[in-house]
């Protein structure tokens, strides 16, 4: 069908260009996967959140339902909180893959050492 031969130099240039593009394509795929796997904020209506009486704002905790709650208890000073005390949101050991409000609270609160 084609009787014309491609010069070796043209074939090598094409192969090198293809090899050079692999890291770029792989990097884009990793970035997209990381964005898709980014943690989401915990919904207070989540079944586990409801079971642990998770509240977004510690000052709005129902005292009748949670008599052991104290207003100074919040996620940022809990041992389960994975962020810094200054972080507005961060991960929690109790809610895998989800972020909790730093000013939130749940009944498993334990003072950070």
Q: Please give the backbone phi and psi of residue 31, each rounded to the nearest 5 degrees, phi first.
A: -65, -40
Confidence band for 52, pLDDT divided at 50, 70 and 90:
very high
Model pLDDT, residue 73: 97
Please determine, for residue 1, whether its predicted confidence score (pLDDT) is greater than 60: no
Ranges of H-type helices in the chain: 8-36, 47-51
Q: Which residue has the higher pLDDT, 81 or 7?
A: 81
Query: Is domain 40-101 annotated with CATH 1.20.1560.10?
Result: no
User: What pTM value is reported for the model?
Assistant: 0.66
């Amino acid at each position: 069908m084609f009787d014309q031969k491609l010069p070796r130099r043209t074939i090598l240039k094409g192969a090198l260009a293809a090899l050079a593009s692999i890291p770029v394509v792989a990097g884009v795929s990793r970035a997209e996967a990381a964005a898709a796997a980014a943690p989401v904020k915990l919904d207070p209506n989540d079944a586990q959140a409801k079971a642990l009486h998770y509240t977004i704002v510690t000052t709005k905790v129902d005292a009748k339902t949670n008599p052991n709650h104290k207003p100074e208890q919040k996620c940022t000073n809990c041992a389960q909180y994975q962020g810094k005390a200054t972080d507005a949101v961060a991960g929690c050991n109790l809610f895998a893959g989800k972020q909790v409000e730093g000013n939130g609270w749940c009944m498993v609160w334990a003072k950070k050492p």
